[in-house]
A and B are shown apart, each in its own frame.
Chain A
Amino acid sequence: GIQVEQSPPDLILQEGANSTLRCNFSDSVNNLQWFHQNPWGQLINLFYIPSGTKQNGRLSATTVATERYSLLYISSSQTTDSGVYFCAVDRRTAGGTSYGKLTFGQGTILTVHP
């Protein structure tokens, strides 16, 4: 199956700092999403971004599908940004989509100190 690698595994920041999280994947994808898992366990969907660039407030994401990677940028980090960030993909196949199935990376644990 498709492999998803995220880096760095851990990241510690001071409030106000910027950061970049990376997601590499081993095959062509037709679906790529970034999630934030908060301390209560809920996965919050940040971006659906199989290609291109999107921005939402202090967060932005870029996926370069031809080079098989995606980047999540967090600017002016806040303590509420702490948690685990996951990249998840679905491999592009001739048969179409794998309904409901995403392959997740191991995540980046972000800690933002005040």
Chain B
Amino acid sequence: KAGVTQTPRYLIKTRGQQVTLSCSPISGHRSVSWYQQTPGQGLQFLFEYFSETQRNKGNFPGRFSGRQFSNSRSEMNVSTLELGDSALYLCASSKGQGIEKLFFGSGTQLSVL
């Protein structure tokens, strides 16, 4: 069974640009969650999608948005990039039935110059 796949692996952008990251969950999983990891703040929850609907959201500005498609694949978008958005962005998948294990991808390393 293939694991969680995130693309691209690395991204370099400049301030003010926007970026889209992609995540394909494990086959059969319908929930996708996104996390931001930085050296200073650690791992922080961004949002979670299930059946194309956002069910949960963390404390991030509106520049961070996401969506989920009918095949459960998810995209995350960050608009008007700031230097502080440089981070490892990780997505996790699960069946979406409540309290359960999360399975993470290898992440997208975003550098904002």
Contact = CB atoms under 8 A, between A and B. Distances in A.
A104 B101 CA distance: 14
A99 B98 contact: yes
B99 A41 contact: no
B99 A106 contact: no
Given A41-B109, A45-B101, 12 more contacts: A33-B101, A41-B106, A43-B104, A90-B99, A97-B99, A99-B96, A100-B32, A100-B55, A100-B94, A102-B102, A104-B42, A104-B43
Given A100-B45, A104-B42, A30 B99 contact: yes
Nearest to A92: B99
Nearest to A50: B99
Interface in A40-61: 40-45, 48, 50
B57 to A, nearest CB: 9
A56 to B, nearest CB: 13
Interface residues of B, number: 29
Which 10 pairs from chain A and chain B are nearest by CB? A100-B48, A100-B33, A43-B104, A104-B43, A42-B106, A99-B55, A48-B101, A101-B45, A99-B56, A97-B98
Contacts of B106: 40-42
Nearest to A47: B101
A50 B100 CA distance: 10
A104 B98 CA distance: 18
B33 A101 contact: yes
22 contacts: A30-B99, A31-B99, A31-B100, A42-B104, A43-B92, A43-B104, A48-B100, A48-B101, A97-B98, A98-B56, A99-B31, A99-B33, A99-B48, A100-B48, A100-B55, A100-B92, A100-B96, A101-B33, A102-B45, A104-B44, A105-B42, A106-B42
Contacts of A101: 33, 45, 48, 56, 58
Interface string B77-113: 0000000000010101010101111111111010000
